[in-house]
Amino acid sequence: MKLDQLYPTPVFKAKLEDDTEGIFVDSSARKYSKWNDYLEDNILPKCIYCYPTNGLYETDGDDGAVCVKFDTSPACKVAKRVLNFADTAATCVAFATVAVGVAAMCTVPVAGPIIAASSAAVTSTSVYGLGRSGYALFDRAKHRQSIGLADAEARGCWLSIVGSSLGFAQGRMIASMTKAARAGEVLGRTGQIAFLAVQTGSLTVNGLGVAQGLAILIEKKKKK
């Protein structure tokens, strides 16, 4: 965090027809039912920020000073930082397993232990990806953001869910194929076609997800 840089970020309060207390809305169009909800769930980057004590600029009764507080953003919390590290690790593992998958599709010889490790890795990262993307969509819905495919970030979450599901299926199929090979069994033609379809689908969807993520990063960079 750079303490010598100051950035204003707007948060305003709005009243809905069916809401007597009103809601808080930030610059990302995330809606918060309470001010404490904003303080706990805002998506500001790691920073120290100053905010009005109760979400509204008010003065105290003595000297007329505005009541404000300072705090670190939720992104500074240990749990958030651990999740960010896990996201990076999962992404690296996903790229590695995709590389193994592409090599296998191109008939490049891949050692059995590498395939087995790839199977375990793709299964675990797929489960993690499903959980993270599912929660991201839940969080967006909770704060009344779009979860439709028309929204770029929501679309990325849906692609991740589909890609993770296919990745999980691929991992389980690789594990079954490895077990069968050790037992001296040969995968039938139907099984080969099914595996190729799942593998191709997984690589395609995950590739689209990567492209979608890059597009979002480029768009955010342009807005700065």
Q: What confidence tens digit (pLDDT) does each residue in 6-28 have? A: 888 999 888 877 666 789 999 88
Residue % of the chain over a pLDDT of 90 = 23
Q: What confidence tens digit (pLDDT) does each residue in 25-82 have? A: 998 889 998 999 999 999 998 899 999 988 888 887 777 788 899 999 999 999 988 9
Q: Report, as an integer, the average pLDDT of 127-137.
A: 90
**Separation of alpha carbons 107 and 150, rounded Å:** 38
Pick the closest to residue 75 from 52, 41, 50, 51 (CA basis): 41
Q: Report, as an integer, the average pLDDT of 83-104.
A: 71
Mean of pLDDT over the chain: 80
Q: What confidence tens digit (pLDDT) does each residue in 158-209 have? A: 988 998 888 888 777 777 777 776 777 776 778 778 878 887 887 788 777 7
CA dihedral angle for residue 191, residue 194, residue 196, residue 201, rounded to 10 degrees: -160
